[in-house]
Structure formats: structure tokens, C-alpha cells
Chains A and B, each alone.
Chain A
Amino acid sequence: MTILEVKSLKKIYKTRFRGNQVEALSNISFSVDQGEFIAIMGESGSGKTTLLNIMASLDSPSEGSVLLNGKSYADIREDELSSFRRDNLGFVFQDFNLLDNLNIKDNILLPLVLSNCSRKVMKERLFPLVRKLGIENLMRKFPYEVSGGQKQRTAVARSLITSPSLILADEPTGALDSHSSEELLKLFSELNREGQTIMMVTHSVQAAGCANRVLFIKDGKIICEVSKHSPNEDITQKIFSVLSAISTARETS
């Protein structure tokens, strides 16, 4: 079943002077099926963050459309967009984006509080989740009191608490040490095995290797795609060769 559909997406930025146009995304189309774990790879400036922002409904495309569960973002009213985002999408960021003035528990509960859920629902969802993520002992701590890995687990818990259809992760391992990165990726794979759809933007080959499908993006276009044929296949080698092919292409051009 298709969860997310991206149809011929285009994003054009106008520079402030002279009205020069910069095409950040040109004609991007792909779709994400239920239960997929997709990684998007690309160099800085390739347009992957723009793509993620549009998929997150934080930014709107110049042309084309994004459909989540068959519903187009363009059809959602501006004032409903944030609650739509809250209920259907979960976010994990490179710099965690936890609120310093809330403890770990309140940080995780934030999306539910914003949706005005009842205390009963909050409790029912919180405890199994934090136990699964191994952060049940940190509930009363504040973000500055825990490690980077723990912060990112908190962020993952926050993204999962609304049971979203899709998790969008922007360089989730970018600020973590190798051990924590490995743990987080393991967690992502596990969540994915349980049926969670994940979409991740990353630089790291190791991270991308965990995904079932990797999209390579350059100059605002998807230029190729690598996917696993069986769940346990190691595609790291394939990713490496695609990346080196892309960089050689740049050198020769």
C-alpha cells in the first residue's frame, strides 16, 4: 500500500536581487509503501533538505504535489496543517530539537499535549514506548543532563508517540558518536521490522545501509536508486560504488 506519493515536485527559489531563479528541486517523483525504510543520499546543496521540508509540509512546492495516505497537502487548510503534521508525521532531527525547559517525559509527551489528548491516553502510550527505547529511568531528567544518544532516543520516542504513518529523519546520526549511531540505526531497523515506515536523509553510508531502498539525489533530481532484494542483504558496497560514480561524473563534467 502506498503511504506517501511525491508527484513531479519542483521548487524554485528566487534570489532577492535581479530575480535570478535557482531550481532546488526539478521534477522529483517517487512513492513510499507502507513498511518501507527509505534513505535519501546526496551532497550538501543537492536539495535533500528542501525535499524533506516539503514532505514535512514545512515548505510548499512551486509545482507538483505530495500525497500522504491519498490526501494532498495542498488540500489541507493552513490552520489545520500543523495538527495534520502532528498526527501523521513524526520527526527526528540531527540536533535533536528537544526543548531545554521540559524534562524528558514532557518532551516526549509534547505532541500529545498539543493535540489535547487525555491523561489516560498519554500514560497508556508513554510507558510501553519508553521501556522499549530504554529511557524509562530518565523521565525526570532534563535534556542537558543526558547523553547525545539518549537525547536522540527521546526525540525518537517523541516522534513515535502519536503513532504516525511516517517518520521523517533528518541526519539522525549526524551528531552522534559511532556507538550511539549504531544503536540508533539498530532501533530504526527494529521499528521498521515492526511495520513503521521511515524516511531518512543521510550522509552516512552506514546509516543508508540499514534502509531497504536508497535514493540518490543530485542537483535537485533523483539520479539513481539502490534497493535490497532480501531484508538481510548488505548494500553498503553498492552505495559506495554509486557515490564514487557520482563524484567521478562531477570531476569529468
Chain B
Amino acid sequence: MNKQLYRKLALTNLKKNASMMLPYLITCIIVVSFYYIVSSLSMNTQLKTVSSGNFIVDVMKFGSLLFAALSVLFLLYTNSFIMKRRKKELGLYHILGLEKKHIRKVLTWESAITSFCSIASGLIIGVVANQFVTAILSKMIGTKLPFSGAISGPAVVKTIITFVIIFLLSFLYNLRQIHVANPVELLKGGQLGEKEPKAKGLLAGLGLGLLLCGYTLSFLVNNPEKDSNMMLGAVVCVLVATYLLFIAVSIQVLKLLQQNEHFYYKSKNFTLISGMLYRMKQNALGLSNICILSTATLLIMTTTVSLYFGINNTVANELDHDISINAPVADKDKVSKLFKSIDKNINKHSLKRKNVLKYTGGKFAEDLDADGKFEMFFLMRLKEYNHLTRQNMSLSKDEVLIFSEDPTKHSDTLTLGKKKLSVKEYLKKFPIKNNSAGIYGQKWLYIVSPKDGLLADKLSRESNLYYEFDLTGKDQDKSNFSYAISKEAERLGIQFESRSGYHDDLMVRFGGLLFLGMLISIILFMETALSIFYKQISEGYDDQTRFKILKKIGMSQKEIRNTIRRQILIVFFSPLVIALLHLCVALPLVMKLMKIAFMDSWAVTLGSSAVSATVFILIYGAVFLLTERTYRKIVAPSKQ
């Protein structure tokens, strides 16, 4: 046989299996193009010149690794599905006299053609789309990027190498399939009688128990930073429970329904339940995977979207004022230079100051309640306090005033080494707020001490000048002003923070995260949809005979159609329903996690999850309609 024949055979095979191959190829192409885009961003040296650009580079590096891992998993999985379907065809070749080595040659041609096509088209799409994607990224992070998404050689090479390896792996898998199978087996394909699934009461109980356990644990997590073990426990419980839910609980429920004779022996339930029992046995694993992937996608969408849209909330939580400056009292000259520049620039940008706060004090750590642990506290002189609060309090040498962020701690005396200090009063509020604490961080004490007090000598050794204020005026002016002052402060070596600067910084970080989150969601979603599509299609072939018989026995086209629709509906949407349930239950935990990043607006998180879920359901629904149509064509072709 000559070479041309193999190539021709390979081409006709691909054409003949087009409906089977096309979704796979489209996914391959999209995965390749996304991989290229992410790689070209992660390898872009100019990106590092953008402020916080390094962060994006790291995010994209992570993204390209993740994409490669997901591609291996999914493309191999889908490929095995297609191979299973094609066993009969390959068996036929065998019977017709093609030897294994000939079939191997045909397969080699097929793989070469599909791999070349998907890598080439993926790269072309990636290169073309990269410009738009760069524009989108630039919009999302609110910063002009110093490049336009031109073709990147190293990224092209990396993409080609990665996917050649992945396709080679699936090709080797296919060869192995040919190698181990004998022709009769190949001809039979997947059609072997299967036993009815056994009820698994114990496992089902365990699954429900674990689910409850995981959910409860997730509610019990108070501080994600401290309770990370509990959080991990919750995740593991829910993960295992999801598998058990599909493997055991589903079958248990169906069995119970089957035992209820009045329910089971109804036309609309009979074929559905008996069919579902088998479906669940074969597909429990696949469905749980789909459910877990959907949950992951939903969570990624929710977190990245709410981080991005919660930036204002984060900024407000982390910085008390538009501008905050702090410098050692010793650096008086530098500070006065900065103040001059502030005065000048405020006028230049036609802004006004308000809520001005200027004070000195220091941050210290000392064991104040003799429990062996250090307390963090902010120390301020009485004079300063009286000035800020317009009061006239007086304290004796060993007395202090305390404001505690932790209202549960309440003791009348403080110890400092061997000396004791008495607390004159626990203050209800304090004029300043120290932002280094964080939402979960250490609870701070604010201590006011007289000039000659026992703590006061700390301040004479080390004290800082704090200057904070808000701005009124146009946002653009505020931002320009903040930028000018930050440059000046940087030059002088003074610590400077502004809300608008921080906002821009977060835009880049969270914008980059959102960007990657969207790409990951799309890929995860596509791969989820793809595997559920192939699952249904291959079930369709298994169900073909079943529905043919039902038709002969006297089931009408309409009834068959209804049964099919309900069956697919259940198989399709059960993972989605469970995933949505997981998402709902996880929301409180997500909000607690968001707090680590200073985002505590539940409205934003709730809104993001609602939007993510809606988008997800809509696309999922579209995939459902497509799948149902294809499935029906296989199972119950309508009369011409």
C-alpha cells in the first residue's frame, strides 16, 4: 500500500467522524490560542515596566501552567471518549485485512493532521486575538500598556512544544488501544451487558454525612488565616461528599423510587428511572468531576469578579484617609519640604483639604498583661490626645487611658516588666485609626500616657509624625496630585500612601486576576461542556437500541422525546444544581476570605456570585440544547 492511501483513509475518517471530532477540535484550537495569549503575556518583558506589572507576569505564569495541566487532563479524557466510539470502525479495518501496523499508520496520519490543524489555527487565532485581548486587559487594569500585542516568538515556540507533547501523549494512548485489543473486541466496541447497580446504603449515608460535615465546618471558619486546617477539612469533606453523592446517593434515591411501585409503574417514570439507574452507574464519576469543575469555575468567577468590583471598598477599608504620610520626628527637614510641596500642589490642582489629622506617636509591642505574648499598641502623649479631642484630661505618672480594638480584653492594670500601670479609663472611641491591623489581624491597643509617664520614655526614643487628610475636588485632580506627591515623597524617603495610588495599584493586580480568572473560567467551562457533550453522545449510542425497542413495543415519538429530554435534563443539570448549592453554602466563607484582602462588602460578593451563576447557567443551557439535539438525532431520528 502506498503512502497516499493512508493519508486518504485518514482524511476520509476525519470527515466521516466530523460531528464527533469537531467539538474536540474547536476546544483544542481555543485552548491553544488561550495558552499562547497567556504565555505571551507572561514572557512579555515590557509588562514588567508597568507598576505592579510583575504581579501580572506571575499571575500569567501560573495561568500558563494551569492551562497546560488542564489541557493534558481534558484533551486526553475527550480523546479516550472518541476512541471508544471508533473502536468498531477500527475493528472493521482489521477484519478487512489491514494489519495493526497499517492501522497505526492511518492513525498517525490522523493525529498529525488534527494536531497540525489545531496548533496552527490556535496560534493564528491567538496571535490575531492577542491585540484585542491586550486592549481588554489594558482597559481592565486601567493602565495603558506599553505594547500592542504583537506576535511573540518565544511564546509561539513554547505553545508549539507544549501542545506537540500533549497531542503526542493522546496519540500514544490511541496506539496502545489498538495494540491491546483483538479484532472481535474492537468490533463489539463498548456493547457488553452490564449488571444492575447495587444499592450502597452505607456509602450514601457517609456521603450525606460528609456533606453536612463539610458545610458545617465551612460555617464554623471564623478567621481563614487561623482556621486554615478547618477550611481544608471543609473542602476535602465536600469534595469526597460530591463523589459519594453521585456514586451512592443518586443510586440509593433511584432505588427507593423504584421500590415505590405506585410511583415507578407510571409511564413517565418507568423508563426514566430504569434508564437513569444505569446512567448513574456508568457516569457517576464523570458527573462528579463535572460538578467539581463547575464549582471551581463558579468560585473563581465569583472571587475574581468581586475582588475587582470591590476595589473601592478595599481601598476605603485599608486607608482611612485620601492621603497618609508618616515619618520619624527626626526627619523634620524632609517633612517640612514635603509639606511645602503639598501646599503648592493642592493649589495647583485646585483641591481642598478636609478632615486633617496631624499627630505624633509610636507603634510598639510589649507584653502588657503578663501572659507571655506581646501586645501591639499605639502610644500617644496626653497633650496630643487632649489636643486632638479638645479635652483637658489629666493623668498621674502611673496612669494611662486605653482604647482597645478588642472589647473583650479588660483589665484594670497593665504590667511593664516589674512595674504596674493602672488604667484610669477605657475610652469608648479614639480619634485615630491604625490601619496596619487589618480586618483579621492583631487587635491593637491605643494607649495615652502623660509626659512623665512610665511608657513615655519609649516615645522620646522613637516617635513618628503622622499627617492624614482627605481631599475634595475632581477625581482626576486627586489622582494627579497623589502621583506628584508620591514621587516627591519617594525622593525624600518618606512613607506615603494615597487612596488613588492604591486604587490604581489594585486595579492592576485585581484586573490581572480578573483577566486570568475569566480565561480560566472560559477554559474550564469549555472543557466541562465538552466532556458532558461527549458523555451524552456516547450514551446516545448506547441508548439507541433501547429506544428502538421501546418504539416497537409502542412508545410514541412524543413520549420517547419527553423521556430523552427529562433524562438529559437530569444528567445535565444535576451537577449544576449541586455546584450552585456548593457555591451558596461557600459564600459566607468566600466573604471571610475576601476580608483578608480588606474587601468586606457582602453586596459586591453577592452580586458577583449572582452574575457569575447567571452567566454560567445561560451558557450551560445553550450547551444543553445543542447536546439534546445531537442526542435525539442519534437515538430517535425523526421520519423523513
Give residues in A with beta carbon < 8 Å to B.
Answer: 56, 58, 78-79, 81-83, 85-87, 91, 93, 97-103, 106, 109-111, 113-116, 119, 122, 142, 144, 158
Contact = CB atoms under 8 A, between A and B. Distances in A.
A40 B399 CA distance: 116
B265 interface: yes
Interface in B255-300: 261-262, 265-267, 270, 274-275, 277-278
Interface string B359-377: 0000000000000000000
Interface in B230-265: 261-262, 265
A110 B546 CA distance: 13
A21 B552 CA distance: 27
A97 B549 contact: yes
9 pairs of A and B residues whose beta carbons are closest in the complex: A86-B554, A82-B556, A144-B193, A97-B549, A113-B270, A85-B554, A116-B267, A101-B278, A82-B554
A115 B267 contact: yes
Contacts of B267: 113-116
A78 B549 CA distance: 18
Given A82-B555, A97-B553, A110-B550, 6 more contacts: A82-B554, A82-B559, A101-B275, A110-B270, A114-B553, A114-B554
Contact of B552 (A81, A91, A106): A91
B546 A83 contact: no
B274 A97 contact: no
B196 A142 contact: yes
Contacts of A85: 554
B390 interface: no
Nearest to A102: B274
Nearest to A59: B639
Contacts of B558: 79
20 contacts: A56-B552, A58-B551, A79-B556, A79-B558, A83-B554, A86-B553, A86-B554, A99-B549, A101-B275, A101-B278, A102-B274, A111-B553, A113-B265, A113-B266, A114-B267, A114-B559, A119-B265, A142-B196, A144-B195, A158-B553
A83 B275 CA distance: 21
Interface in B519-565: 546, 549-559
Contacts of B194: 100
Contacts of A115: 267
B555 A109 contact: no
Interface residues of B, number: 26
A12 to B, nearest CB: 15
Contacts of B277: 101
A98 to B, nearest CB: 8
A100 B549 CA distance: 11
Instruction: Give the dominant DSSP class at A's interface.
Output: helix
A105 to B, nearest CB: 10
Contacts of B551: 58, 82
Nearest to B192: A144
Contacts of B262: 119
A101 B546 contact: yes
Nearest to A109: B265
Contacts of B261: 119
B546 A99 contact: yes
A101 B550 CA distance: 12
Contacts of A79: 556-558
A111 B553 CA distance: 7
A106 B274 contact: yes
A122 B554 contact: no
Nearest to B262: A119
Given A100-B194, A101-B278, A119-B261, A58 B552 contact: yes
Contacts of B550: 99, 110
Contacts of A158: 553
Contacts of A111: 553-554
B321 to A, nearest CB: 70
Nearest to A91: B552
B275 A81 contact: no
Given A106-B274, A122-B265, A97 B556 contact: no
B548 to A, nearest CB: 8
Contacts of A101: 196, 274-275, 277-278, 546
A100 B193 contact: yes
A142 B196 CA distance: 8
A97 B559 CA distance: 19
A6 to B, nearest CB: 20
A251 to B, nearest CB: 33
Nearest to A86: B554
Contacts of A83: 554, 556
Interface string B575-616: 000000000000000000000000000000000000000000
Nearest to B281: A101
B75 to A, nearest CB: 32
Contacts of B554: 82-83, 85-87, 111, 114
Contacts of A102: 274
Nearest to A57: B554
Given A81-B556, A83-B556, A91-B553, A116 B274 contact: no
A51 B549 CA distance: 19
Contacts of A99: 274, 546, 549-550
A116 B556 CA distance: 14
A115 B555 CA distance: 9
Contacts of A81: 556
Nearest to B193: A144
A49 B534 CA distance: 35
B552 A93 contact: yes
Contacts of A91: 552-553
Nearest to B560: A82
Contacts of A82: 551, 554-557, 559
B549 A114 contact: no
A109 B193 CA distance: 21
Contacts of B553: 86, 91, 97, 110-111, 114, 158
B271 to A, nearest CB: 8
